[in-house]
């Protein structure tokens, strides 16, 4: 039996898993992400933790196929990151450093891409080889998988689906500097923005009229039948559908997997996205399925391990 | 030495080439496309022509690696077409029929995807493995190549870049039934539409004020310094750039290759597209190169042959 590690490096914690080559998870744990001093301790901390676990499980390095790791940044094919705001990193040769620190092979991917691979392997997209995962979190990330392989792109920026333009009339500026990016409407932050805009002009009574509103509040109110919240959800769904329609004519996947914090609202989300999608999608792509992500926080470690097992 | 055939099935003619496995073209010819009676003679005509050429060149079937063919329709991974308006076909098992008719292996692809493969092999994208080709003809087609492989998609509709939405305010309807598709602005027909709209409100003098205007007239006038034609070209470029920006955040190619009839205008086209692209592209994708296609009518047969050589 051979083994591998799946690592999901986030801005707060690093999630880690030890996998059998069969895909079975033997151990799962997390450590704190020390982002101070340009995040220089992050990779040494991960390496120390992995070496310790290898010993604790009585494994030899020769039994470890490698370490897969997802990071919140574009990653080149050589495993290089040119800066990650969340981790404090500037230019960093992640693959090389991690290999030197552990004496094991490493493969590095963008975290949203890696999560997509995880959902294809064991989650909402299981059994498919053409899928698009949309991660609706603080921002909107994604992974586009074609024939079982993630589109990494020439500059490590493949699948940056949060920056598809879905509104050429937008006046507010996205974090990237453009206007009208999907992220401005379909992220948790974007949903709050839509809710605030709606509340500013809304005359109907609604539970959303309170001090501060979250994306969760919006979907909780939708479930409680609040008409204003339904309007916000419809607007969210229309913009997300516009993004997915543009994705579909390019990648033509079998399934869209919707993940990230916003997707915790559950099945209530799907009709808001699927209805406008079906109305406007290019005819060849109209029947693409919509699924919720199912792995939650494990998508990253699973996808990271899968990179190694597929290599 | 082994050989293969590259076939490009168009609505008027079928272009064909006999290739050495080295990539050298030994022979190149074309036959008429007989689209009557639901195009039932097209594949038998192609098969007869191939068998005849095989004999004329003194080749044995065992020396032929296979036949690659591009068709103007979405094609499934199994080489099935579910209808091609240009060829008169309804459901057709193109791969199976061509193999039965010739006794040779066949691989079938969408014509725009196949042309992209040709340009990557021997044309404007030579040396690259991540490229997007945009074919600006009567419509707008395209091919998205990731790691050397065309994105075919789950329903054979990958790379249908002409139907990216670039204007959510459009009132005119695209051939596909939607509004605001790239094809409505960047095809030869779309450029004429933009020119007519401009001429209807234009007070400046222009050589475009005449009985009928073609896309070629517009770019000829641009070359002659006609200010109105420049305005039309700028509008064309802005919409095309919007489509490419959305493509880039998904596929992140190294190069955009611009082909099709409209691209015969030459290098004059590029700044009209590249300037608005660079202004608005997601920062990771801003430096993607723009190149003109160089193979012209040979892109299809080259790409079709390349499918066989890569198989």
Torsion of CA A242, A245, A251, A257, to 10 degrees: 70
The verdict on residue B60 lying in a domain is: yes
Cross-chain residue pair B283–A177, CB shorter than 8 Å: yes
Q: Which residues of A touch B163 (CB under 8 A)?
A: 249, 282
* Separation CA B109–CA B118 (nearest Å): 12
Q: Are residues B50 and B143 in the same domain?
A: no
B106 and B171 within one domain:
no
Predicted pLDDT of residue B105? 98
Same domain? For A159 and A41 the reply is: no
Shared domain for A92 and A62, answered yes or no, is yes
- Reading the block at residue A213, the tokens are 């509103």
Instruction: With both helix axes pointing from N to C terminus, report the angle between B215-223 and B227-251 in degrees, rounded to the nearest 10.
Output: 110
In a domain? residue B86: yes
pLDDT tens, residue by residue, B198-241: 999 999 999 999 889 999 999 999 999 999 999 999 999 999 99
> What is the percent of chain B with per-residue pLDDT over 90, rounded to a whole number?
90
The residue segments making up the domain with residue B238 are: 127-293
Are residue A199 and residue A268 in the same domain, yes or no? yes
Whether residue B80 lies inside any domain: the answer is yes
Q: Which among B134, B239, B249, B289 is the top mutation candidate for probing chain A, defined by the most A β-carbons within 10 Å of its own β-carbon?
A: B249
Please give, rounded to a whole number of angstroms, the shortest distance from the CA of B286 to a CA of chain A.
10
- Whether A176 and B282 lie within 8 Å, measured CB to CB: yes
Domain count of the fold of chain B: 2
Residue A211: per-residue pLDDT = 82
Q: Which residues contact B296 (CB under 8 A, 6 or more apart)?
A: none
User: How much is the pLDDT for A74?
Assistant: 86
The mean pLDDT of chain B is: 95
Question: Is the same domain home to A306 and A285?
Answer: no
Q: How confident is the model at residue B74 (pLDDT cuts 50, 70, 90)?
A: confident
User: What CATH number should be reported for the domain holding residue B242?
Assistant: 3.30.420.40
Of A251, A254, A288, the CB nearest to B151: A251
- Residues of chain B contacting residue A120, judged by C-beta atoms under 8 Å apart: none
Q: Is residue A211 part of a domain?
A: yes
- What is the DSSP code (8-state) at residue A128? -
Q: Summarize pLDDT for B77-123 with one digit per residue, the tens.
A: 899 999 888 899 999 999 999 999 999 999 999 999 999 999 999 99
| Reported ipTM | 0.90
Tell me, yes or no, whether A197 and A229 share the same domain.
yes
Cβ <8 Å between B252 and A177: no
| Distance between B285 CA and the closest CA of chain A, angstroms | 7
What DSSP letter does each residue of A172-191 carry, written as one string? SPPTTS-SSBTHHHHSHHHH
Pick the residue from chain A with its C-alpha nearest to B286: A155
Sign of the torsion formed by the C-alpha atoms of B101, B104, B109 and B110? negative
Q: What is the pLDDT of residue A203?
A: 93
Q: How far, CA to CA in Å, does A309 sit from each of A66, A79, A153, B172, B279?
A: 9, 17, 21, 50, 41
Distance from CA of A275 to the nearest CA of B (A): 15
Q: Is residue B122 part of a domain?
A: no
Which residues of chain B make contact with A168, given a CB cutoff of 8 A? Answer: 166-169, 242
pLDDT average per 10 residues of sequence, chain A (311 residues): 96 96 96 96 98 97 97 90 90 98 97 95 94 93 93 90 96 93 96 96 93 94 97 98 97 96 95 97 92 95 96 88
| Residue A64 belongs to some domain of the structure | yes
The pLDDT of residue A235: 98
Contact residues, chain A, for B169 at CB < 8 Å: 168-169
Does position B249 have pLDDT exceeding 90, yes or no?
Answer: yes
Same domain, B151 and B277: yes
B62 with B162, same domain: the answer is no
Residue B155 has pLDDT above 90, yes or no: no
Asked whether residue B142 falls in the same domain as residue B251, the answer is yes
3-state SS, residue A29 = strand
Q: Which residues in chain A have their CB less than 8 angstroms from residue B288's CB?
A: 154
pLDDT of the residue at B238: 98
- pLDDT value at B164 more than 90: yes
| pLDDT tens track for A20-35 | 999 999 999 999 999 9
Interchain pair A249, B280: CB under 8 A: no
Asked if B111 and B184 sit in the same domain, the reply is: no
Cα–Cα distance for residue pair B257/B238, rounded to 1 Å: 17
User: For residue A153, what is the nearest residue in chain B, using CA coordinates?
Assistant: B252
Let me know if residue A226 belongs to a domain.
yes
pLDDT digits (tens, 9 = 90+) for B254-294: 999 999 999 999 999 999 999 999 999 998 899 999 999 99
Nearest residue to B128 (alpha-carbon basis) of B113, B110, B145: B145
A133 and A252 housed in the same domain: yes
Residue A122 is assigned to a structural domain of this protein? no
Hey, what's the torsion of the CAs at B3, B5, B6, B12, to 10 degrees? 160
Q: Which of residues 237-296 of A touch B (CB under 8 A)?
A: 242, 245-254, 280, 282-285, 287-288
């Amino acid at each position: 039996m051979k083994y591998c590690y799946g690592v999901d490096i986030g801005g707060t914690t690093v999630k880690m898993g030890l996998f059998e080559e069969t895909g079975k998870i033997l151990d799962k744990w997390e450590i704190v992400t020390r982002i101070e001093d340009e995040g220089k301790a992050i990779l040494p901390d991960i390496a120390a933790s992995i070496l310790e676990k290898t010993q604790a499980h009585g494994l030899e390095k020769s039994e470890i196929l490698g370490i897969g790791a997802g990071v919140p940044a574009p990653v080149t094919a050589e495993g290089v990151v040119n800066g990650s705001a969340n981790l404090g990193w500037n230019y960093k040769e992640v693959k090389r450093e991690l290999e030197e620190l552990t004496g094991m092979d490493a493969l590095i991917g963008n975290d949203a891409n890696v999560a997509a691979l995880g959902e294809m392997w064991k989650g909402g997209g299981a059994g498919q080889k053409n899928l698009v995962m949309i991660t609706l979190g603080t921002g909107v990330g994604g992974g586009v998988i074609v024939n079982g392989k993630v589109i990494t792109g020439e500059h490590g920026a493949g699948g940056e689906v949060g920056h598809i333009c879905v509104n050429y009339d937008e006046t507010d500026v996205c974090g990237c500097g453009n206007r009208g990016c999907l992220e401005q409407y379909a992220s948790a932050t974007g949903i709050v923005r839509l809710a605030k805009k709606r509340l500013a002009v809304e005359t109907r009574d609604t539970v959303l009229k309170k001090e501060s509103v979250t994306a969760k509040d919006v979907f909780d109110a939708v479930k409680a039948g609040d008409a204003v919240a339904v309007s916000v959800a419809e607007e969210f769904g229309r913009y997300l559908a516009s993004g997915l329609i543009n994705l579909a004519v390019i990648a033509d996947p079998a399934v869209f997997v919707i993940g990230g914090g916003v997707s915790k609202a559950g099945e209530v989300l799907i009709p808001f996205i699927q209805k406008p999608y079906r109305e406007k999608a290019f005819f060849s792509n109209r029947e693409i399925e919509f699924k919720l992500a199912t792995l939650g926080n494990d998508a990253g470690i699973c996808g990271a391990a899968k990179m190694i097992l597929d290599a």
